[in-house]
Every structure is written in structure tokens, then in C-alpha cells.
Structure 1
Amino acid sequence: MRGTDSHTPGTAAPKRRRLGSVEVLAAVLIALLIFRAPLASVLSTPRMQTWTTVFVSVMVQATPFLVFGVVLSAVIAVFVPRSFWAKALPKHPALAVPVASCAGVILPGCECGSVPIAGSLIRRGVTPAAALAFLLAAPAINPIVLTATAVAFPNDPEMVVARGVASIVVAMLMGWLWLRLGKAEWIRLPHRPELDDLSRWRAFWAACRHDIVHAGGFLVLGAMAAATINVLVPESVLQRVADRPVLAVIALAGLAVLLSICSEADAFVAASLSQFSLTARLAFLVVGPMVDLKLISMQAGVFGRRFAFRFAPATFVTAIVVAAGIGWVLL
């Protein structure tokens, strides 16, 4: 006799329905309605108000540029032919890295937008080293960021030059380092809709929807982590390390990772940290657009955790060393 759990030949096993974003959102809204009274009392505490302020500010700063990056990523994926990149970038990967780094000058945006763009570039056949160099350079050397830095440091115009030079040097070094040590299996781009079977505009909107949901979710996680750490780190810690040059550079670099401030706004935060040296504040400005909590989360979502957990620490160390060296020379 056959077991009772066997299936009749030719009949498909019933598929289990997976929870989607709509169901999760409905559950969250219902929970908020049920527990609105205790939640209101918790959110009224000073710590939670600070947490909420930081979280909302990170999201408000980052979301427009994330949308810009997603739209540009969809344009690259759908409307730009693969042959364009073969013509626009040098064929030799080592030469493509500095060209891709300099391309960040013409694309105003922050790190939130550069992640999906870099992923789309790799899908279109660009060598990963060049795409990663663009990912690091674009948020730090575009005209909006450099202009904001000039406004934030009106009495220190050399800060603009130092930020631009240090950022592009780090981007090129990391691109070349990937050529030397990087492995293709470390990058696992998420499954994308099959765009070739759709009309161009339908494929464009499908790509936008996919990247907004995918990258946006990791942006929220990163913003939550940044807000949590921002509340837990006491302000007195900054004062105790400001007078120690080496420790000050490392501390502000670490602070940039924790605060996760958008590159268009971080210069004003750095300018307010007047107790620190210009070199320490340069480290803050160089590290922030390349390595922060929300960026690491988004890189893990777009390129895979194996990539993010290797690329982010290497970038962090390289950015600190380069910023310290450039700061010692120019500042």
C-alpha cells in the first residue's frame, strides 16, 4: 500500500502562500492601533524623541537621493545598451578605475543613490572594480557635496580640495585593490525582473519598484541602527578624545560610520565639531560617504553580505590612512 502522504501522479503539490509586504504592513498598522497608548508614552521620553529625530532626519536626507539613484539605475539597466560602456570606459580594468572615479563629478547624489547605480553598472557589463570606484567617489566629489563643504568651511577653502583629493584617491585605491584581491563570487546581485521580455517603459517601472523595495528596506534598517547608536553614545566622549590627534582621527571616522549622515549634509556637522582638528574632521568627511551603517546595510542587500563584510572594513582603513596623509599635507 502507498503511504497516505503520497501525491497522485500528475497533480502538483499545493503551494504555500508567502507573506508579502502588504500583509506585513497591515499587521504593523493593526499592532500600532492596538498598542497606540503604551507606544505614545514610550515615544514621549527624551531618549526616544532623540531616536525618532535622528531616524527621521536620516530617512529624509537619504530618501530623495535613493529615489534619484534608483531611477538612474533603471535608466542604465533599460535604456543604455551594453555597447555604450565598452566604448565609454577603457578596456583595461586598471585604466577604467580612475575614469569611473572621475565620473562621479558629473552625477550629483549621495551614497544611497550610488549603491543601486553601481549594481546596475555591473549588470550592464562594467568591470566590478570600476563600478565600485564609482560607488565610493560619486557621493564625495560631486558638485553638490563640494559646494556644501565650501559653504560649511568658509574660512578653510583648502578643506574642499583636501576632501576631493582624498576621496578620489581612496576610490581608485579600492578599485585597484579589488582588481588584485577581489573575487567574483563575493558579489551576489539580487534576482531582478526579466527585463528583456517587457516593453522598455514597463521594464523601467519594474526595475524601479524592485530596487526601491530592496534597497529601501536596508536603508530603513541602517537608519534605525544609526539612531540607536546615536542615542547611546554620550557627548562627553568627544571632548575627551579631541586633544589626542591620532585618537581624534579614529574617533571621528568611527563617528561618521555611526551617524550615517548623508554626504550632502555631513560637512555642516563636521564644521560644528570645532574642538577637533581639520585633519580629524577631514577623516569624518572622507569616511562618511564611503562607510556608514546604512551604506553597509544597503551594500549587503545589493551585493551580498560576503562582499559588504570584506569591502567596508578595507574601505574604512584605507579612508583613514589617506585622509590622515592628505590632511597632514594640505591642512
Structure 2
Amino acid sequence: MEFVINYSLFLAKAVTIVAAILFVVVGIIAASSRAKKEQDGQIEVTLINDNYNDHEQALKAVVLDDEALKKEAKSLKKKQKEDKKKQSKAEQEQKKRIYVLSFDGDIKASAVESLREEISAVLTMATSDDEVVLRLESPGGMVHTYGLAASQLTRITKQGIPLTIIVDAVAASGGYMMACIGTKILAAPFAIIGSIGVVAQLPNFHRLLKKNDVDFEMFTAGEHKRTVTMFAENTEKGKAKFVEDLEDTHELFKSFVTEHRPQVDIAQVATGEIWYGKRALEHKLIDDIQTSDEYLMSRRDDSHIYAVSFETKKTLQEKLGLAVSYATDGVVDKLIQRFGGNQRF
């Protein structure tokens, strides 16, 4: 009997502890959800010049001896005094401002939600004397979402503000649609540029369903409401219409590039091919070979360089989901490295 009583007390304590933990977890989740509703995110601004200066001083502190450091500090102080004499305070503050944005595109161009907030923030301050630099990375994706992303960039050029697009790795298809908005396009020597093409693909299970005596019925109003599907039998007429739609989208894409990069021979480049940086320069798809780091470092002395980003607050559920995603991506990457057939350089 004593054992039963002790066990019951132990069980009650365990249930109480578990209930308390669940209560705390639910409270955190609810609070996170409320915080997200109250404020989706905020603009964060960092002066990149300070980062460069900090890196320089950290390196000098290790590389130079004490005597060299003192000499360096004395020389720097003298230079600052000379510069101050040459320029008034107003002139010093009137240095060109460069606003640096980043776009890391996926197939849905999801980053456009942050990009639109960043551009809205920059446009409250930027003038035609300033410059916006976009570090662009994208393999392309959906037509309508990348069309929206490109439209967001035109907000900058319509204000007469110079827009420099820099591609360090890839700006393909929809990515290049965004890039061609730039007043100037720079790319790393082996960055992938293009293609100016359109692709669509889908499997068809009609024969499999037919083999297993499964009927698939589709009812539509409008001759071309559905042209090709995954389960019904696709007709030659439907396929022809689908290809026609792709060609029309391709023509729109070519017209868009021609409008913003008239120097490009569109008939020569709109073949669906991709070009590495140096070849893209030959075809005038870009204006120069330069990485984003090289470009920004070259401007650190004559400009105030600001990194602008829109940071969203993640809920507990999103953080847990992100951790699982990272773990899964690691496994997938290893499988691709072992068994994938993609070219590697």
C-alpha cells in the first residue's frame, strides 16, 4: 500500500512538471506569435567603413611591432589634421553615400519581401548624388515573382539614383532580369550570367492511371483554361498552346532586356545559354569584371558605405524549422557530392 501511495505521489509530481514545461513552451510560442503580429521586422543599417577600419587595425596590431604601431598612429593623426584643414566639416559630411543591399534569390524570389522594405527605406534618404549597390545572387525562378523583384529595382532608377548590380556567383534567367535594371552591372570572372530563356516541365501519369483502370476527369470553362496537365491525356493542340505561351513569355523577356540593355545583341544572346563573367562582358551583358568586395573596398576612402537590411523576427516554430532545414540540407549536399551528376569546377 505504501508503494502505491509513493508511486502515485511520484506520478503526480511528474505530471505537474510536464504540465509546467508545456505551459512555458505554449507561453513562449504565443508571445512569439504576438511579437510577429506587432512588428514583422525592422531596418538595420551598418557603416561598412567602420568594419574595414576595424579589420585593418586588428591586422596591424598583430603584424606590426610596437615601434611601427606608434609611427603608424602618429602618421594617421597627422594625416587627419591635414585633411581637416583642407576640408570644412560640411564638405567632409558631404561625401557620397553608397547604400548596399543584398538579394539571395530562390525559385520563388522570396527575398523580394525584404528587398521592397529596404528600397523603401533607402528612398527616404538617397539622392541622385548617392548610389545604391545590390549584391545579387539568383539562379532564377518564377516569372511573376522575379518580375516583381525587377519592378522594385526600377523604383531606384526612376528616382535618378545610380544603381550598381554586382554578381559574385550567379544571376541566371530571372536573376538577370533583375540585373539588367542596373545603371552598371559588374560580375566576378567566373560568375554565371544568363540565360535569357524560359523553361517549363511536368511529369504526366496518364498511362500509369490508364494501366490501373483509374479515370481522371477534368472540367473547364474556356478553351485554354488547361493546356497540359499531370494526369489527363495531353493533346497535340494543348501542347502546341503551351509552347506558344512559353514563346510569348520569352519574347517579353527579350523585350525587357532590350529596353534596359540596348547595347546587347538580343538575337545572339537570347538562346537560353549561360555565360561566365568574361564571356558575358564580350557580349555586353555586363559592364566590367569586378567582385563586390573589390568594388566596395575601392570606394571606402571617398564614400560613406552603408549596409541596409530588413531583419525579420523569427518565431520559436520558425527557429526549430530552420534547424531541421539546415540538418536536412547538410545530408542532401553530401548525397549530391557523392552521387550527383552536375559539373564541378
Q: Same fold (TM over 0.5)?
A: no
* TMscore range, shorter length: under 0.3
Larger helix share, 1 or 2:
1
Larger strand share, 1 or 2:
2
Q: TM-score, normalised by structure 2?
A: 0.24
